[in-house]
Amino acid sequence: MLMAGTALTAFILFSSVYFLNSIEKSVQTTEGRVGADLIVTHSKEDVNEPYGRHVLPGDELLPFVEGLEGVEVVAPELYLSTVSTICCGTEGDFPIVAFDPSRDFTLSSFMVKSDPLEDGEVVIGTKAGGDRFLFHVEDEVIQEKVKLFYKLFAVKNVLFPTGTKVDETIYMTLGSAHEMIKNKVLDVHIQEDAISAIFVKAEADRVTEIGRAITRRFPETNVHYGSGVKKEVASYVRPLRNVVYALIGLVVVTNMLQSITLYSAMLTERKKEIGMYRVMGIPTGKSVQLILYEVIVVTGAGSVIGICASLGLLYDHQTLLYAWSELPLVLPKKTDLFFQGGITMAVTMLISLFGSGLCLRSLYKQKPYRMVREGES
Amino acid sequence: MIRANVKKTYRLDRHHVVTAVKRADMVVREQTFTVITGPSGSGKSTLLAVLGLLEEPTEGKVLLNGNEVQTEKERARVRLHTFGFVHQYPRLHPTLSALDNVLLPLALMKNVTTEEVERGRALLEEVGLKERIDHLPFQMSGGEQRRVGLARGLMLDPAVLFADEPTASLDPENSLLIFSHLHKWFLRGKTVVVATHDPIGVRFATDVYDMREGILTKKSIRKSDPDDDECKDCASAY
């Protein structure tokens, strides 16, 4: 019973850490996505809407922006077309966008796998078939392909749900896009060097200066400043994060009370046995040591069971959880796993030791003879 | 030698005080088999607890070889090294075998040696539990558990063994067995103090005390004779 209680505590704590990690990751990725300090689009485009047909001259704009002082990363994207399809449980209009994986800082943190995207491969949003792909994302044997512009592309990766238009988008490399533009296989004419938008990371105190320099040099551009969006996201996310922390705190307190109740029941049951040790004159320290040793063994075993159960359940149902929670759920790395498992075990043990210590303290206030004789004639 | 002249009261709450031992003046001589008889609730178990340094008297003193044992730490030390206890309910560790239960007091203090393990086995064999050495408490009868408790009480070779109702709720055959083992201990030159309302126990006694309504009176000093079927003290014992 004690072991089961401890296992449950460890299970809840370990799962909480996992979900907290995932929420943190979600926050980071959302901040990454909207966290570009500058988003440069054509002045006739709206940054909050899907890309339109208006493009920018990449061969001039990109080197110019990269050359500006204070600019750290420049990630270009090019909207190619929107395809309408009904197939295999997926239907709708899906924008196809090209990006540069080597420079990207907005999409990579949303990707389920960290494998680099090559030319001829695509990464898809959850609503563009990615929700099904999630179920065999780790399976090397199963491969999915998608035909775009009469060419087969291997589905290499899937994006975690974002709750934005990204979920419906299919992404390919700029290399693949340029090749198709060169071969004139697209249904519309796009210049080879065209780009739809660039995401810029820059030094905080130079953002406005950079934005002004871009619009001065390229009047057809519109610069959107990311800091406001970032603040807005942070203001939405902070309460959520606080609620999660508060819930974890509540779980810890509830489990502490549960643990105290369990140990109180256990020690009350063994009150006479403990009393007998005291009657025999065994020093308090020695008998307390015996009880605490038992607590450590039971708690240790229980917490290992709880952690393994949590890990097994989360690992086995990873894809189901992806689809259900719409969060970029991430299992910790092996090293983090040991660390988090160790912390969970330590917290569980501390709760149990605290609970049993508290009960032992009240027991040892009683006289040994009365502990043994209580309730007897 | 234990000399006691004590009174013991318990405070139940703010308004109620129970006097368990009103007056008890007694001497437990070395190498005697002292039996305190009396009906249930007469205060004999409380007196045994006071003599065994488990409870402090409300009035009076308990002197061990002429000295008063002052602190709880000292009392615990005396209980560990000089006294042994056998209780009505042995309260064995539920997950330990009979042998491990017997060795537990030692194991809690230090690493148990092979000789001590052998001694534990021998004690269990002596109380007739050779076949039960590796059994867990729940696999044994009440009488057998009682005998494990007796072996545990003897494990540390106590000079004085206190037994509180050691035969309560046992059949006459098992009662006789328990008293026989206590008697063996007495014959080895140890002191045995038993609180019981079992008349059989008086046959084994050298010193008989009677406790009624918290007042102790000395009945007799006699020759210990387990085969004394016509023991006159036994007839009046509870």
What is the domain partition of chain B in residue ranges?
Answer: 1-82+160-229, 89-157
The model's pLDDT over A240-260, given as tens digits with 9 standing for 90+, comes to 777 778 877 887 788 778 878
Contacts of residue B191, defined as CB under 8 A and 6 or more positions apart, other chains included, come to B28, B29, B30, B31, B32, B33, B34, B159, B160, B161
Per-residue confidence band for A156, with pLDDT thresholds at 50, 70 and 90: confident
Looking at residues A149-154, what average pLDDT do you find?
Answer: 83
Nearest beta carbon to residue B80 from set A273, A282, A290: A282
Reported as type and span, the H/E element at residue B80 is helix B72-81
Residue B79 to residue A277, Cβ atoms within 8 A: no
Residue A369 to residue B54, Cβ atoms within 8 A: yes
pLDDT in the model for residue A239 = 75
pLDDT in the model for residue B98 = 94
Percent of chain B with pLDDT over 70: 95
pLDDT in the model for residue A326 = 58
Tell me how close the Cα of A234 comes to any Cα of chain B, in angstroms: 55
Structure tokens at A216: 């001065």
Nearest beta carbon to residue A369 from set B49, B77, B153: B49
Distance, CA of B160 to CA of B83 (rounded, Å): 5
Looking at residues A59-69, what average pLDDT do you find?
Answer: 89
Cα B214 to its chain centre, rounded Å, is 19
The model's pLDDT over A11-57, given as tens digits with 9 standing for 90+, comes to 888 887 777 776 666 666 666 656 678 888 888 766 555 566 678 88
Query: What integer best gives the mean pLDDT of chain A?
Result: 79
What is chain B's length?
238
**Residue scoring higher pLDDT (A352 or A212):** A212
Residue B79 to residue A287, Cβ atoms within 8 A: no
Q: Does A47 touch chain B (CB under 8 A)?
A: no
* 3-state SS, residue B90: coil
So what's the architecture of B1-82+160-229 in CATH?
Answer: 3-Layer(aba) Sandwich (3.40)
- Testing the interface with B: which of A2, A270, A280, A292 to mutate, by most B Cβ within 10 A? A280
The model's pLDDT over A329-348, given as tens digits with 9 standing for 90+, comes to 556 667 777 888 888 888 88
**Residue scoring higher pLDDT (B125 or A328):** B125
Reported as type and span, the H/E element at residue A228 is helix A227-269
Q: Where are the domains of chain A?
A: 2-27+233-373, 36-225
Give B40's contacts in chain A (Cβ within 8 Å): 377
Distance, CA of B92 to CA of A276 (rounded, Å): 9
Contacts of residue A371, defined as CB under 8 A and 6 or more positions apart, other chains included, come to A271, A272, A274, A275, A278, A363
Looking at residues A60-74, what average pLDDT do you find?
Answer: 89
CA nearest to A349, candidates A292, A285, A271: A292
